[in-house]
Chain A
Amino acid sequence: MSRLLSLILICFTINDTRANEDPQTGLIMDAGWELVRANCGGCHSYDIITSQKSDRQGWEEMIRWMQSSQNLWQFDPKTEETILDYLTKSYPPSESRRRAPITKTLMPLN
């Protein structure tokens, strides 16, 4: 019985991702995400997007850096606008802090 319970628990844990994340890429499925999927996975994995946090200017700088030195192509203005809107909304910086508490995964269970 406890084995069954832990099995259910495991399944539950595995499925405990934000419902609006694309299972293949991990991208948040908000307006414009397909454009990001189409334009941003050629060279690197999507993890490097979903692990970053930045404001609009920061995201734009990353795109400019990739365009100037990493062979990223130029976007038409509408595509670029949509991509920047998406990144800025989906992956903004968290609130300011001096040093965060020890991360949740490294805490005692109780």
Chain B
Amino acid sequence: MTKPNPDSNTIGIHKLYAEDPISADKTIWGRVTNPLTRRGFLKNSGLMAMTTALGSNIPFANNMPAGLIPAAFAQTDDAFNIYGKKGLKILNDRPLNAETPAHLLDDRVTPSSKLFIRNNGIPPSIPEVTSQDWVLKVEGESCETPKQFTISDLKKRFKPHTLQLQIECGGNGRSEFYPPAKGNQWSTGAVGCPEWTGVRIKDILEDVGIQKDAVYVAYEGKDRHLSGDQNKRPISRGVPLWKAMEEESLIVWGMNGDDLPLIHGAPLRMVCPGWPASVSGKWLSKILIRDQVHDGAKMTGQSYRVPCEPVSPGSKVADEDMCIIESMPVKSLITFPKSGIDHGLNESLKIRGHAWAGDLSVKKVFLSIDFGSTWHETLLEDPVNRFAWQHWTQDVTFPSEGYYEVWARAEDEQGVSQPVVLPQWNPRGYLNNSCHRIAVQVKA
């Protein structure tokens, strides 16, 4: 099989299956087949993921050959999408990382099928995450009474909250930095704003008791290190106590009215919105109340850190001069139309998208159709709740035939705006919030 053109946006499930159908079964669904017959779903591995995505049972599941893409997903014009497959651009399949093209982020509430995937390690298996024995332990130096909770304990003992909260990978936009930064080469699609259901981290912390010396709240999850080393964690990050205590910082079991999908952290994950999504730990098994800034995997060194003071592009920066990223910067996306369309002269084009600003709200969003020479304020909605992205729209007519770019630029409540060129270069390529641009060809 040939490898698809690297420029193509349409790789995904087909590419994974083309390279190695057996491992694609495992990567996408967690599916392992009977080694003798090469059929079925060994110990029901992956069956639930596949049926959930299909939205129906597979009556002859035991006969289903290994390495077969379910026909429903092979149809490009099918009515539904599945997470991490159709439409999403797969950047890396081990660990699985996939982003969503801007025009597929048009929904006001991001469906799980269109939420980016950022894994640092190997997710736990379906049997592990569906087990009734899953517990969340709460401990750490500054925890008064270490406790553990089953998921039904959490549901019974604490008040549930449902909120629409945006999460964005700290490295979203990395691909534009020069000199290039190592890591997944995200363009614009590592962001989303689903509706989450769970309990406040605050309520759990108050239940176990927070000692006076507490400064940080960290997570551990059940994903495994890529090397297979049991003593290594792929990632274990956290947030300062004040961020964990915010009313919108949650431990969730639900997404958009359903249980969390495996790939997004089932059965439990943290959501600390507005910060790099790596603080919103998946497959959550432990919360640590720390008396120091957490020092878990990808908290230290250069990970999720930027130079404390600005540096020239390409600089080497010592670890002690790197500061942990907290709130993400103001940003916006044009989600309609899709870049690259033809549009009729004299016809109005309703352009729309979303904007968000980390811990802050967005005050204004502007559009330019003349490469930033003039800017026009769009109609901007308030967020449905704090930390939800805000929708904006604007009717545009183009003055002549020709090639246009539509640029969007948001401004936060403190008057801080997105740059038109790239923001401050940093060694790992985080926080690129330069304005989003789409191309439109206007024809008579």
> Which A residues have a C-beta under 8 Å from some C-beta of B?
13-17, 21, 23-24, 26, 42-45, 47-48, 50-54, 58, 62, 70-72, 93-94, 96-100, 102-110
Contacts and interface: CB of A to CB of B under 8 A. Distances in A.
B440 A45 contact: no
A42 B422 contact: no
A93 B227 CA distance: 28
Contacts of A100: 176
Contact of B185 (A51, A99, A104, A108): A51
Nearest to B103: A106
> Which 4 A-B residue pairs are closest in the complex by CB-CB distance?
A108-B441, A71-B227, A106-B339, A43-B226
A24 B179 CA distance: 29
Say whether chain B's binding surface is mostly helix, strand, loop, or mixed. Answer: loop
A14 B4 contact: yes
B414 interface: no
A3 B260 CA distance: 42
A51 B5 contact: no
A96 B179 CA distance: 7
Nearest to A42: B227
A23 to B, nearest CB: 5
Interface residues of B, number: 44
A44 B94 contact: yes
Contacts of A53: 180
A109 B403 CA distance: 11
A102 B434 CA distance: 13
A57 B149 CA distance: 48
A107 to B, nearest CB: 5
A48 B92 contact: yes
A71 B226 CA distance: 9
B439 A108 contact: yes
Given A71-B232, A102-B438, A23 B3 contact: yes
Contacts of A106: 339-340, 438-439
Interface string B1-33: 111111111000000000100000000000000
Given A47-B93, A102-B438, A23 B340 contact: no
B93 A45 contact: yes
B176 A44 contact: no
A47 B341 CA distance: 30
Contacts of B6: 17, 26, 50
B179 to A, nearest CB: 6
A72 to B, nearest CB: 8
A24 to B, nearest CB: 7
B182 to A, nearest CB: 6
A91 to B, nearest CB: 9
B180 A93 contact: yes
Given A16-B5, A45-B94, 18 more contacts: A23-B3, A42-B227, A43-B94, A43-B227, A44-B94, A45-B93, A47-B90, A51-B184, A53-B180, A70-B226, A70-B227, A94-B178, A102-B405, A102-B438, A103-B187, A107-B340, A107-B439, A108-B341
A45 B339 CA distance: 30
A98 B422 contact: yes
Contacts of B176: 99-100
Interface in B392-444: 403, 405, 421-422, 434, 437-441
Contacts of A16: 5
A23 B19 CA distance: 8
A108 B90 CA distance: 23
B308 to A, nearest CB: 21
7 contacts: A23-B1, A47-B92, A51-B92, A94-B180, A98-B421, A102-B437, A109-B340
A47 B440 CA distance: 31
Given A44-B94, A71-B227, A108-B341, A52 B5 contact: no
Contacts of B309: none
A75 B22 CA distance: 31
Contact of A93 (B19, B95, B178, B441): B178
Nearest to A98: B421
Nearest to A100: B176
A97 B210 CA distance: 50
Contact of A52 (B180, B341, B421): B180
A104 B92 contact: no
Contacts of B95: 44
B128 interface: no
